[in-house]
Amino acid sequence: MTNLFAGIHYSGFRSLILMAACFWQLAGCLDSENRPENVPDSTLAKILADLHVESATLQIEISRDSLLPGAPAQENNLTSGRDSVLTAYGLSEAEFMLAMEPYIKEPSRYVALYNQVLDRLNQKRQRVGQAELTSE
């Protein structure tokens, strides 16, 4: 079974840079009346963990499919995968970026949030590892 967590560090860093860059572009899209309700830290940690797993999964699929002759480009799948995760939590990209605003402005809060994300990813990795051991 392919390890879905192999690309998390790279994709996580790239996602972090993408979120920071997009934030400034999206921050003006919603005025204060249209901002999402306060999204709890635990929910944001779930969303970010799911985004990292989705991104790693899609990167593996794209890498695998790129080896096949005549395989179509799948770069758009990264965006659709991200959108599907956010939609599952009832957020648009703009709403998600606005919910992340306080964390981006306060690095200590951002680090605390990402510690929760890493805890979730480690828990998922342990469950996957246990499932692989029991299936052998």
7 alpha-carbon distance from chain centroid: 12
- Residue-wise pLDDT for 76-117, tens only, equals 555 678 889 999 999 999 999 999 999 989 999 999 999 999
Residue type, 83: D
| 15's tokens | 């996602």
Which residues neighbour 109 within 8 Å (Cβ) at sequence distance 6 or greater? Answer: 102, 103
Asked if 110 and 20 touch (Cβ cutoff 8 Å), the reply is: no
**pTM above 0.85?**
no
What phi, psi does 48 have (nearest 5°)? Answer: -65, -40
The 10 Å Cβ neighbour count of residue 40 is 10
- Residue-wise pLDDT for 19-71, tens only, equals 555 554 555 444 444 545 688 999 999 999 999 998 888 888 777 766 666 55
Q: For CA atoms 59, 63, 65, 69, give the dihedral sign.
A: positive
Question: What ranges in the chain are assigned the alpha helix state H?
Answer: 8-26, 41-66, 75-88, 93-105, 107-135
Domain boundaries, the chain: 8-131
Asked if pLDDT for residue 128 goes beyond 60, the answer is: yes
